[in-house]
Structures are given as C-alpha cells and as structure tokens.
Chains A and B, each alone.
Chain A
C-alpha cells in the first residue's frame, strides 16, 4: 500500500519548510520530494541507528520499569537538570517544564549554547523582526551576518530570502542586493553580491561604525575591522536607501567575542535605520523547534531558558542556571535529557559531570549521551512518527505530521514525560 503525504513540515532546521512530499509504502518511507539533502536523509534514514530497547544500567527493561527508575532519580535528586527540548514538539516541551517544576529542578534548552545571547540582547534593547514572508515579498537588501544558510539552512535563500519572487520583488534574486559578512569566504559569500570579510572578533566594531555612518557621522579611520572606509560608507548608504532591508544573523555573531553585545549593536543599527526606512533583523535559529522551546518555556514561566524552580517559583539567570555552568560547577546531581546530545556537544567539564551523575535520556538514536545514561527510553521521532507543534525561526507555529507509525511501537516524548510526571507525583504524595 502506498500513501503520499503532501505539505509535510520538515522537522530538521529552523526553516520548517512545509512543502515536502513524503511517500510511504507498507509503513516505510519510500521517498521524499522537495526536501534538501539533510531533510531527505532525516526522513529516509529515520529507522537507522535506533535505540532498540528501553534500558536501565544497560539492561533491557520494559517501559514501566524505566519510567519508575527515571522518576526515582529525578524525585530524589537535590538539583536535577532537565535539558534539550529543541528537537521535539511543544506538548513535550510543556511537560518537561512541568516536570522540572514538580521536582524543583532547572529546565534549560539548547538556546543556552546558541542564540541565548540573542535573547539577552532582546531583554536589553529589544529587536525589530518579521516573519519570513515579508522578506520574500518586500526585501530589496538582505545581509547575512555570521550565518551561512548555504550550508546550515539549505533552502532558506531559495524559499525565504535571496531568491523567491514575491509581491514587490517580481524578479526574485535580481530584485535584491545580497551582502554577506563573515570571517571567511563561505559559499554564502560567493553567492552574495558583496562580501565583507570582517576580522575575527571585530563584528561589534563594524556594527557600531556602520551605525555611526548611518547617523551621518564621518568615518575617520581608513578601515575598521578589516573593512575599508569606502565600503562602510557605501553599505550604510545602501541600507538607508533600501525600501526594506533585513539582517539575518547566526552563531558567527552570537558566539564570537562580544556575544550579546554584538546583537545589541546589530539591534541598535537596525533601530537607527528605522528612522530612514524599514529595516529588520531575524536570528537564524538552528534546531527546528528551538524557537518553540523558548516560546513554551516563556509562556509557562516568564523566561525562555535557564529557569530554576528550586524555590517553587521560576527564577532566571543565564550563567548560573544554564546547563553548561550547572554541570561544570558540579551542581547538577541528576539530569533528564530530551532530544539532545550534550554528551557530544558540551565542553569537557560539563560532559564529564554528565558522565558521573545519573542521567535519564529520551531519544531516538544511539548517541554519546545515551551511552553514558543510566536510563534510556527510546521515543518516537516528532514530525515523522508523532504529531505536534513546532515554531519556525521567525515564530510561525506549524503542525508537524505523523507519516509512519512509531518504530517498534514506542511512545512519544510527551507520553513518556507524562508517565514520569505521574510517577513522580505518586512518589511525592506517598512520602
């Protein structure tokens, strides 16, 4: 039997392309159309390298046993950490927050190691942003700053930014001027009309001098951050003359020297430009639902990540309640990892601590994190084997589809988390 699912939302990157066509034959994915290479691979290989069974201490057990063990670890820990969440759907994220509250722990998501600084800047000065369709329809100047969609968000420039024909951009790519700012000549730099090779760690200076130039100040230095005075003046002029412009920025800006100060400067530049024309900026979010992780955590607690429930109410302090810090300082004494692989991606000190404490991991695939976990619970892949909501990088919520039955009858993140919550509640009420 063959079923074709159209307009499937891709659960890979923050683009959430929603035009995929997935063909399912006899319960297996047989083909994917319209997808980028990464997305195709995610769909076609979703059955590879799967965690075969629920385990406690490496021994195969049933769901009930694993949930019991997980609940006991979390309910008895003094400072449990709940981390991950950016590659699952929103109901699961909400349950994770609820569980963290119930056990008086900390809930954090991957934005603490990617766009956390973007949020800090927003809390400091704000942000002028838009959904991607405005860019498609109106933008005649697009700047990619410290971001490389040609390798990280493969269909971004085709669907949303540099290429598409929109309402007031009838000639697509020809209707736009595209600028790339980066420390090295990426593929994006070669696709752009203009490339500014900024000296590493000097983005802040360049943003400030651009802002000054937009304000009409005379640039006196011959060059700033490796960019000539003429180029700076020309770009400032071009920005002011644009009908609608936008800066898409990535980790090149958020995770290089200056971090949130860089974003602060970029927001300042954009705000300044709004006195002359329409200008916006939007972060290039990585994981497909990292925006959702921030969104759900914010509506439930008031804060986007690094939320501590030790006092029964939410507190927020990036640098203290962020996962890397909590682990590296040896504070966290148990962890629940959902849809993430900190064992592979965290700095050594944090990863080492993770290997020492009891860890419960919910994931689909075998990863370094599952290998160091005490309890491993395989779960369905959201967007392939389970439904749910994901938020696109620009905040647009879309419904993920279920196209095949879960691998080996396993449950979704949300279902497993609900089971753990019930078990923890029973333990707490029993005591």
Chain B
C-alpha cells in the first residue's frame, strides 16, 4: 500500500477538536499517522477544499430480504436510474432500491465509507451477509432484530435478565450482528395474529408482556453486557398522529438504566421524523418535533436520527409489518408483507412524498426541526432512513437544508402552506456549520456506534477520508446549491489508504470489512441457554439449530469486536 498525504485542505475532525484548520492528513498502512516521508508518498491535492473523515451512516436499509423485496417489486423504480458497467465497476440500477454494487459506489461517491444495515432478521442473516459481500467499498455491519423474538419475549416474561444477556450474546454471534435492534416491540408478534400494540403498556398475546418491559429489559441487558452501541429502537405507533407522546414515553422508560462505563446514553431512537407527529389524525396532524427536541435536550441518555423526508418517489420498508399494512391501506399502493417465524417480520410499500400534500410537507419540516432544535449535534444524526424517508443519495440536499436557511425557505415556498402553521420551521434561524455537519454525519455516529477507528482523523484511525470541492472559508449559506453539488460528488474518497473515488467517479472498488460483536458470557450461562434453544428449535423452528448460525464462509473480510460481558454477572 502506498503512503498518501492529503495536502492543503481545510480539515474538520470534531472528535479531535479540529474545526477547519488548514492541515495535511498523513496515511500509511491503512491508518492515519502523525507524519510521513513526503517524498515517497502519493499526494492528494486538497488545496481550498473541505476534508473530513469518511462518512458513517448508522441507519440504512441496504442489504437483505427487505431491500431485495423492494428491488424485486419495483422495476418501474429502476427504469429511471440505470447504471452501465465500466472497467472497474459493475452495472446495475439506482434510485430508491439500488442494486448492491451501485449502493456501494454511490455511498463512496458521497464520501461515505461506513454504513450500517439497520434491520437483520436472524433467520435471514446469511442473506444480509451475502448481499454485503456484493456491496463494495464501505465497511459495514448489520443490526440483529430482537424486539419480537420468541426468546426475548420468553426471558422478559420470566424476568430473567441473565438469560436474556446470554441470548443476546449468542444471537449476535450466530447472526454476525453488531447491535440490538428493536422494531415496534411486541407489535410485530401481535401482527402474526393480524393485530398490533397501541402503546407502551399494551400486552403481547400469549406472552403477556408489554413493549415497556421489552424495551427496558433489552436496554438493561445491553448496558450490562457493555455492547459497543446502545439499543437501536424503532418505536411503537410509527406513523400514527399523536405518536410523539409514545416516543417521549419510550425514551423516558429507559432514563434510569445505568449506561455501560464510558457512555452516557442508553437508547438510540431511529427515524424520529416518523415518530414525532402531533394531532389526532392525518387531517389535523402537526409537528411534535419541538416537544421531542425539548425532551432530548433535557435528557442526555437519548440519541436520535432524523429519517428526513424527501419530496420524491421512494420505497418504504420496515420490520414493522402492521405499520406497512396501515400504510398500504392509506395509499392503496402495492404491499408486500413478509413474516419470519419466531422472531420478526417486515413490510414494503412504495410511497411518494408530495410537496402539495400537507402531511408530507409537515413530515419534511419535522426532520429539519429535530436537527435544528436539538442543540447537541453529538446526539442527533443525519439519516433519511434510506429508503423510507428518501434515498440516501439525497443526503447532500439535507446537508444544504441544514446549513442554509435560504435553502429551507426556498423549499418552504414550494410546499403546502401547512408547513407554516403546523410546524416551527419558519421561525428557526439556526444554520449548521461545517464542523456540525462533520459531527452529525461521521464523528458522532462513529462515536455512538462504538467504532473507535472511524469518524475521526487522529493517529491510529482507519484511513477513511473524504475531500469535498468546497472552500469553507468563502462559502456562504446563500450558495447552498454549491454545497449540495460538492457533497454529492466527492473530489476524493479514500478508503483505507486507497483512492476509491476521484472527481466523483469510482476508480477502485475493493471489498470493505464487516464488523460484528463477539460478546463473552459465563460458560454456565451459555450452557443453560443452549438447553432452551435445543428444545425450542426442535419444536418450533423449521431449521435445525446447527444450521442456524452464519458460517464463516459468509464473512470473507471480518472484524469481530470482542466484548467481555461477564463483569458483574
């Protein structure tokens, strides 16, 4: 590997307190180093440009059965965005359900080098990893679904946190997963009888446990094990007007749980835009974003991401089967439901966010309100919940809205006037700085994920660097189209020493690595757990326990993260 110097750029590295200083970044052996022999290094000229650590997306649907159902059911989506092969890249399709190769290229073109697949059904874990192996360039990991798993519900009902911890450790290893994902806790199990839960204290059929118990038990187990990331939660009542109350209640439910050492947070709440609705129905729906922001500002145990809505035709896909059925009934669009035995489910429905639709205009504003009303950029992250709020390729536009009030105003003038009366967006003057953008798109996401080598450019960090052709010293918010252009096509993306994108074009497409969490629990605890698994797999699953775990063949480039969960057992 050739040494590289990224020379002369304005560097934004918030984790190391660097805010736009003109400095060089030295890269050797795939890592950032303090110094280099300049004569032997390849020079990447970043003069007058913005330099940041590679982007880290902590919530995106890019691999596995859900996105693949989206691809399968939407030939009309592909037709408008075709991607021919080149000498170094495969052909494919883009837009809301990009093919695997194209997803890898397009993230890299925007300077992203680490992406998290947000929902992996355990039984479909092999599928997720097979797709990730066909998704080039970025490093990745997948979050394993826990919130409606039979064993989770069983141990929550029994109040057996130790067994729950042993199960979490085992299932993360079995699925090569990275974090505890929870989707509509309890609701997806009830959906297997065609029902849902209506709030935190409803009960799950047959198990007689509540979403509150599921969330708090998993959060407690997560922190006691000391996993790198907190629980990653898609709340109950998604997409239901008035749901901001459920969202705040859920955040409050885990307030007293002690975070693992070295972390202050105990919960990450995802795509809050969909969970920040005030009002009683879709006719009088209004923004509840400022109320949620007020709670988040006052409570340091919470982090959130936006799930920003984009005015475009997209494809919604979640592990929340009952919500997708509801959305099908709202829209009449085609609907795929996909239940997974014993553990999870999913649904997919195409959806168009329209500028002239009052509810959609409000949803658009809610995402931005959340970003602008939450004062601490270390606890609010930019996502579109790709592709639910819109394709990830719209991130540069979101960046423009965050950095420029003029960009927001220009859009507000084009959309339904409900945005003026039923949201606070017009009254918000805050504009993100370059440093804040670097925080909400890489530094803070890497930090909350516990990826210590990502999201910064200090010595020892992975050499993932993005260079954007915009001069932060002369840029003004009125020039928001320039910023959108610059962030859409990185001047350079460097992935582990290798220049993978130059002038917005992919020039190399290596395969990134897959992170997963290997948590140790006491041997006796694991032995006890195995007794349950052996009996209940035989009785209730349709695959044998020995065929269930993901084999090493599916992880050609892997990086297990060891966690000692035995402390305090």
Contact = CB atoms under 8 A, between A and B. Distances in A.
Interface in B87-120: 90-93, 97-101
Nearest to A160: B542
A309 B90 CA distance: 11
A321 B334 CA distance: 25
Interface in A31-79: none
A236 interface: no
B127 interface: yes
Contacts of B124: 395-397
Nearest to A276: B194
Contacts of A395: 65, 124, 127, 338
Interface in A254-280: 271, 274, 276-280
Interface residues of A, number: 67
B547 A9 contact: yes
Nearest to B123: A396
A197 to B, nearest CB: 30
Nearest to A429: B87
Contacts of B547: 7, 9, 18, 398-399
Contacts of A9: 547
A131 B339 contact: yes
Interface string A295-333: 110111111100001011111100000000000000000
B535 interface: no
B78 A130 contact: no
Contacts of A389: 126, 130
Given A309-B91, A312-B85, A278 B72 contact: no
Q: Which of A166, A294, A298 has the most CB of B within 10 A?
A: A298
Interface string B527-548: 0000000000001111110110
Contacts of A391: 127
A130 B124 CA distance: 12
Given A124-B334, A300-B99, A314-B82, A19 B340 contact: no
Given A300-B100, A312-B91, A133 B540 contact: yes
Interface residues of B, number: 57
Nearest to B86: A312
A220 interface: no
B72 A304 contact: yes
A137 interface: yes
B420 interface: no
26 contacts: A7-B547, A18-B543, A90-B130, A101-B90, A102-B85, A119-B72, A123-B72, A123-B334, A125-B334, A126-B336, A126-B349, A128-B336, A129-B336, A131-B123, A131-B339, A132-B542, A134-B340, A160-B542, A271-B335, A277-B194, A299-B63, A299-B100, A300-B90, A311-B84, A396-B123, A396-B543
Given A90-B130, A244-B194, A398-B126, 18 more contacts: A122-B72, A123-B72, A125-B335, A127-B336, A131-B542, A133-B342, A134-B339, A136-B542, A274-B325, A298-B72, A300-B100, A302-B71, A302-B99, A303-B78, A312-B85, A313-B83, A314-B78, A399-B126
Interface of A: 6-7, 9, 18-19, 90, 94, 98, 101-102, 119, 122-134, 136-138, 159-160, 165-168, 243-244, 271, 274, 276-280, 294-296, 298-304, 309, 311-316, 387, 389, 391, 395-399
